[in-house]
Each structure stands twice: as C-alpha cells, then as structure tokens.
Amino acid sequence: MRSLRSATTLIRRTHSAPFHKSASRGYELIDGTAIAAAVRQEIKDEVATMKSTHGIVPGLAVVLVGSRKDSQAYVTMKKKACLAAGFDSMETTLPEDCTQEELMGVVDAYGADPKCHGILVQLPLPDHIDEEFVLDRISLEKDVDGFHTLNVGRLNKKGKLAPTSVACTPFGCVELLVRSGVQIEGANAVVVGRSNIVGMPVARLLQDLNATVTVCHSKTKDLPAAVRNADIVVAAIGRAEMIKKEWVKPGAVVIDVGINAVDDPTKKKGYKLVGDVAFDEVKDVASKITPVPGGVGPMTIAMLLQNTLLRAKAAVNEE
Amino acid sequence: MRSLRSATTLIRRTHSAPFHKSASRGYELIDGTAIAAAVRQEIKDEVATMKSTHGIVPGLAVVLVGSRKDSQAYVTMKKKACLAAGFDSMETTLPEDCTQEELMGVVDAYGADPKCHGILVQLPLPDHIDEEFVLDRISLEKDVDGFHTLNVGRLNKKGKLAPTSVACTPFGCVELLVRSGVQIEGANAVVVGRSNIVGMPVARLLQDLNATVTVCHSKTKDLPAAVRNADIVVAAIGRAEMIKKEWVKPGAVVIDVGINAVDDPTKKKGYKLVGDVAFDEVKDVASKITPVPGGVGPMTIAMLLQNTLLRAKAAVNEE
C-alpha cells in the first residue's frame, strides 16, 4: 500500500501543466524539462520541510562498475540532481573487473546505512556479474529503481502490497500524461516495445489507471494499424523515428521514450538525438507530444528523486 | 530458465489435437475434457517412468481451511486426479477459525517434507488470514499455483530466471491453444478481464508466445470493438454469456474461462453452468471455441499435475 499508492496519489494531484501551445500550431508540446523542473522543485520543498521537521535528509547511493562513458555521465547527472534537491548523495565506483562479491559488499553496506534511503546500481553491469542477482540483493526498502523481482511481482498483481518503488522512466511517462491533463481512464493506450525497464511497467501502470492497453513488439503483424487505434501512444522501441504520421490517429497523445543518435554533419558532435517517433511529421496529427530531447529524458531523474524521497518518508514513518 | 522454459517446451510440442469438426458446423470444438485427459495420460506415463528410474513419486499437498462446499469439491477433484496420475496425495484440513500461525505451520511442514513437491493452499481463505502472506510463504520450489510474488515477478520480466510454475488456469488456456494448432505468434489476442489469477498471467503468457495482447476490463470504452479486433479471445470476466456473436470477428478462436451458474428450471439442480461467452451464437462465427463446461475447466487440474510433475523433476535434478 505504501509507495505506489503514495506515488499514485502524487500523480493524481492536478498540476498546472507547463505546456506550450501557439496559434501557429495545433499540437501542444509536453515539455519534460519544465515538468521535471516542477517535480524537482516540489521535492526540494518537501526535503526542506522534512529536514526541519524530522532532521532527516534523503540519501541516494549510486554504484557504478567500470568506466563506460555513458554510465559515468548518467551517474554525474544523478549526483547533481541529488545535491540540487538537498539530498545526500553517496557514490561508489568499482573497477570493471571487480568480483560480484565485492559489488554485493557495497550493496550490503549501503543497505545497512541508515542515512541511505535508496540504492541505485547503474546498469548495464559487466557480463561476469549476474545483474538479476545483484538487483534482487537490494532491499525492497531501498529499491528506488523498482527492478527487484518482488517489486515487479507487486506491480503486476492487485494486492495489499504495492511496489515500494516503480521504475523511474515508466513512472515519468505517466507523470507527464497526468500533469498534462491527459485522460487515461478509458483511453486506448498502445505501448510499442516490451522491455523490462520501460514497455512492460508502463503498460501495467496505464492499466492500473484504467486505460485499455495493447503491447506491440517486433512480432506484431500490423504495427501501423495497431498504433492508429491508440488515444495514447508510448514509443519505447529504440529505433530512430520509426513511428510515422500515418500511424497516428489525429488527436492522439504521443510519449516518445526513445533516444537514438543519428548522423548529422551539421552538428559539432557529428550526430543528433532523435526519438522513436518522427516528431517533425507526427506533431501535425498529435494533440500533445513529447520532444526528444527534453521530453521523457528529464523525467527519469526527477522520478528517481521522487522514489528516493518516498523511501525516506517511509523510513521516517517506520521509526 | 527452469520450469517456464520446460513448460513452454512442453506446450510448444505439437500434439494431435482432439477437436471435433463436423460437416454440419463451421466451427471446431476445443474439447478441454479430451485434451486434459491426453495431458493427464502423458503425465501418468512420465510418473511411471520416474518411479521406475529414480524411485521418485511426485507428491502434491492440498491445504484447505474451513468447510466451503465449492472448495471441498475442488480439493476432492484434485486429490482424485493426483491418485489417478500415480502421484502421492497429501491433504490437511484446518477449521475455519484456525490462526494464521497454524496455517503457516502446515505450509512449513509440507515445505520441509521431501516427499512433497507441490503445495496448494485452496483459495479463498477466511478473511482473518492474510492470503498474500500465506502464498508467499510457500517456497518457490513448491509453488505449484504460481502465485508467489517472486513467480509473478519472474513471469512479468524477461530474465534468466523463469517462474518455477505458471498459474494453472492461464497455463491451461495456452495449452488448449497450442494443442489445437492455433497460431499464437503475430495474432491479435484480446483478454477480457484483468484478474491476478487469470487475466493478467494469460496476457503475459500470450505475449511471451509473441501475440500482440490487449487487456480489456470494466473501464474499456468500447468492448465490442476491442473484442472484434481479436484473432484470439480469452474471456475471463465472470459474467454469464456477456460476449455476443456481433463482438467476435469471423474465424476468431474463443477461449472461455468463465463458469457462471444461471437459473434453469429444466435442470434437476435448478441451474446450469454457462461461460462468459454466448456459446450458442458465437459458435456460428468462431473458427474454434471451448465449451462450458468441458473447456478450460478440466485443464486447470491437468496443469496443476503438470506443474507438480515439473517440480518433482526439478527436485530430482537438484539432488
């Protein structure tokens, strides 16, 4: 009952939605950067209150194995976001060739640390480490990524025990919809992609909010037809600009989870980031749409902070 | 990887499907009674081999709390099915007012008994007992109902660890489809109903077999339209004859999980059992359809035996 209910309560609150509509275009941009900033400001305010009332500061530990550039960049972003929200930020970096036991030792140490309310093991892990085993080692109380098998189980059944956390990216997708005033109950939602970390949990969250959900994937026989049936499209395939204008029902809401690098010689870096949706054409039929970058991306870290705050609150309540 | 893979392997085997087609009708009846009998015969043969090769007899323990007539009837059926397949059948009945601790004691005792390979706690339990807590007390090794939260989690993510068992009724639905030669991969499957014990797990199993799955429920805004899109319909709503002919696409395959008692003064008991599908009219458009009774019903017990056999095999392999 604890944190998904809390989370659902949070996302059910109505917020002034920072979206942009101009006379020159028919669609509204769902501005993830602005919504994430609003979420982060709310969290910061709550943290200040928590600190003054209970003397508690939420603490997030991030564990990185190896030296992948992208993982390092994510860890740095998470650390900065923690500090900006007034959290304690803890970090451990282990070498690429560390043993699973060493990694477990770090997870267990944060598990025993009362100042740490959330543990995030940055994925992917090197091949010699059993990812599922490591993720299941994090206690439910500190599983701010929501990847523990018990949390996946709780998410996927109705019961007295809600997940302690819901995976950050799916949670962020739903938060974007709710804060943009999108009607989820009764809507036909089509999720394209069935990954553990996005497609499956976002489908389940939308169903919990009473959407009628269809999950599409590589074996779907007529993907354009399936997508055309959607009032809400969530694209999480990982293929650049795959979803075209003709696939989208006029007036549909489009959430683009994809982040794909495509060559672009006009850019200094030689590439640009695009989503799974052909934004430039789909915007002409969608009623609301997220850009890439600046849509779902910024929400992931905001929801990580949200999850950590909820876990810190739960720890206060259990004291 | 263990038993869902084994289960999937089992259900992917091609079997001669005992269905009935006559010149006088366009549909084929999916005969659950005959298919369940075939499954049970295969299990019986395997048990005989197991006994002679390893000296192992699969053992199933059924725990009943209270004296509900329907629960007693189910327990009796399960016990008979066990004995017919050559299993050891164990049974404990506790009074309606037993404590949760007493029930746990029984679960733990079967958990420690090497002759017991599966534990089934008959549901529903009295209100004063925490059902989720009890179900999660059964070890994964003996969770032949597949209701343990970790098994639900494993079912709902892709990973190295498959569930040790899959819930019997959904498993039975998929077995009926496979043994009836129904193409699941690429099919549009519509599951009506989103319960923990049928709707959700059957949706997940069909998706694992590469169907494109839509889950409908009481908040679905145009249920007939959604069902009309289905190549495969699984009805698990619990409302007598709700699904009508006009809702079903010609040629669709219809699996009816519902068992509803409706008044019928022509019957000695004063009622008859019907499904969630208006069989008499839907049969005229469906290509294949299960009857009620005699469709999914008999499969539930067959799959319970299958799950117990798989757990006994796993125990042999772990020795």
Please tell me the predicted confidence (pLDDT) of residue A40.
98
- Residues from chain A that touch B214, judged by Cβ atoms under 8 A, are 212-214
**DSSP codes of every residue in chain B:** --HHHHHHHHHHS-----EE--TT-SSEEE-HHHHHHHHHHHHHHHHHHHHHHH----EEEEEEES--HHHHHHHHHHHHHHHHHT-EEEEEEE-TT--HHHHHHHHHHHHH-TT--EEEEPSPPPTTS-HHHHHHHS-GGG-TT--SHHHHHHHTS-SS---S---HHHHHHHHHHHHTT---TT-EEEEE---TTTHHHHHHHHHHTT-EEEEE-TT-TTHHHHHHT-SEEEE-S--TT-B-GGGS-TT-EEEE---EEEE-TTSTTSEEEE-SB-HHHHTTT-SEE--SSSSHHHHHHHHHHHHHHHHHHHHHHH-
Contact yes or no for A200 and B161 at CB 8 A: no
Which residues of chain B approach chain A closer than 8 Å at the C-beta? 130, 132, 148-161, 185-188, 194-196, 200, 204, 207, 210-217, 219-221, 226, 229
Q: Would you please indicate which residues of A are annotated as catalytic (active-site) residues?
A: 78, 122, 145
Size of interface A-B (CB pairs under 8 A): 102
Which residues of chain A approach chain B closer than 8 Å at the C-beta? 130, 132, 148-161, 185-188, 194-196, 200, 204, 207, 210-217, 219-221, 226, 229
Please tell me the predicted confidence (pLDDT) of residue A1.
32
Q: In this predicted model, what pLDDT tens digit does every residue of A63-114 receive, in sequence order?
A: 999 999 999 999 999 999 999 999 999 999 999 999 999 999 999 999 999 9
Q: In this predicted model, what pLDDT tens digit does every residue of A110-123 receive, in sequence order?
A: 999 999 999 999 99
Task: Look at residue A11 and tell me whether its pLDDT is greater than 60.
Answer: no
ipTM entry: 0.92
Model confidence at B108, pLDDT cuts 50, 70, 90, reads very high
Domains of chain B in start order, with CATH, are: 55-154 (3.40.50.10860), 167-299 (3.40.50.720)
Q: In this predicted model, what pLDDT tens digit does every residue of B120-150 receive, in sequence order?
A: 999 999 999 999 999 999 999 999 999 999 9
- Residues from chain B that touch A215, judged by Cβ atoms under 8 A, are 207, 212-213
Please tell me the predicted confidence (pLDDT) of residue A111.
98
Please tell me the predicted confidence (pLDDT) of residue A317.
87
